[in-house]
Amino acid sequence: MKRPISLSLAVVLNWIVALLGVLSALLFLVGGWSLLTPSIQADVASAISAESIDLPQGVTTETIAVGIAVGVLSLGLISLLLALVRVVITVSLAKGHKWARWVLTLLAVVAMITGGLEITQGAPLLWRGVAVIVLELIVLWLMWNGRSSAYVAHRSAQRTVAKAGVKG
């Protein structure tokens, strides 16, 4: 059975989503790295001081500025890891693996939840959130429609028969 166009489109869209994830991760990494420069840290510390926030004993505005930078860098690394995982799993989806479809579904749901949270933040994240939700819904439909499901079931059955033949 030949892979249906809908599943091929889901694979391509997953690769595009992964590429966008890599680009997003790079922006986080560059932003986090720039937050470590002394002049930016001084600006962040100054902004925190201007808010007249009572800091706990021993915590300085500089410590908070470094914490923010580390947080942004961490988000970048997590985003990069998730994007790379998505690429690897998408290869398995193209081969018709059920588990890959389930993992990509979970990633899509997490992305849609994140997109929903972005919508609440207003522009420009509003439009990014809407785009993420719409794109992930399209990917989900393409992965789970009848033809894609039939292909995944067929490929899974072929693997099961092949394993049984090797063991028997």
pLDDT in tens, 17-57: 999 999 999 999 999 999 999 999 888 888 888 888 888 88
Q: What is the pLDDT averaged over residues 82-88?
A: 94
Contact indicator for 101, 152 with CB cutoff of 8 Å: yes
Q: Which of 107, 73, 70, 64 is nearest to 88 (CA)?
A: 107
Determine the pLDDT at residue 87: 94
**Are 15 and 90 spatial neighbours (Cβ–Cβ below 8 Å)?**
yes
Check pLDDT > 60 for residue 168: no
pTM for the whole structure = 0.82
Interhelix angle 5-34/125-144, nearest 10 degrees: 150
What's the chain's length in residues? 168
Per-residue pLDDT at 136:
97
State the average pLDDT for the chain.
93
- Beta-carbon contacts of residue 156 (< 8 Å; ≥ 6 apart): 96, 97, 98
pLDDT class of 117 with cuts at 50, 70, 90: very high
- Least confident among 8-12, 45-49, 69-73: 45-49
Is 9 a residue whose pLDDT tops 70?
Answer: yes
User: What average pLDDT does this structure show over 112-119?
Assistant: 94
Confidence label for 147 from pLDDT (cuts 50, 70 and 90): very high
User: How does pLDDT run across 98-111, given as a tens digit for each residue?
Assistant: 999 999 999 999 99
